[in-house]
Amino acid sequence: MSAGDSLTVAETAAIDRALADAARASGLVFNAHIGPLGADPRATATELHAATAEPTRTVLVAVDLGQHVLEIVTGHQAGHGLTDGDCQLAALTMISSFRDGEFTSGMVAGIQQLGELGRSLPILHARDAKDISA
């Protein structure tokens, strides 16, 4: 898909579902922005991220199909569970699909990956001994 193409209702629903699943898995807020990001995509994506309701807990996936740019922005709190390396990994997953023209599946796969990587696993050995024996 490129600029000028269209997303179907089913495709937007699939991305929406992936965002909701990722939010459920990680406890973070996931948003996606598909559209022009201007001359400085990173700055624009950061400002869009800041305009969300809970920027510190929000992960924004911004894609400019015209410039072929993907930006993932994580808030301060979201960054604890989701490192820049995790975001880089998900970004690579996404762009490898984008290069094949698979926009929706790339978005879904990348967002799911972010949700999985952002999930904070419980540290079992740190639990109280009483809880374990009970």
Nearer to another protein, 53 or 129 (CB): 53
Binders of another protein in range 41-100 (CB under 8 A):
41-44, 46-56, 58-60, 65-76, 78-79, 82-84, 87-88, 90-92, 94-95, 98-99
Tokens 């698979």 -> residue: 102
Contact yes or no for 33/60 (Cβ under 8 A): yes
Structure tokens at 93: 């997953």
**Applying CB under 8 A, does 105 fall inside the site for another protein?**
no
Q: How far is the CB of 73 from another protein (least distance, A)?
A: 4
Count of residues binding another protein (CB under 8 A)?
69
Nearer to another protein, 10 or 123 (CB): 10
Nearer to another protein, 17 or 127 (CB): 17
User: What values do phi and psi take at 87, rounded to 5?
Assistant: -65, -40
Distances (CA, A) of 43 to 37, 48, 59, 101: 9, 9, 15, 26
Nearest to 12 by CA among 93, 108, 109, 95: 108
Among 27, 34, 102, 109, binds another protein (CB under 8 A): 34
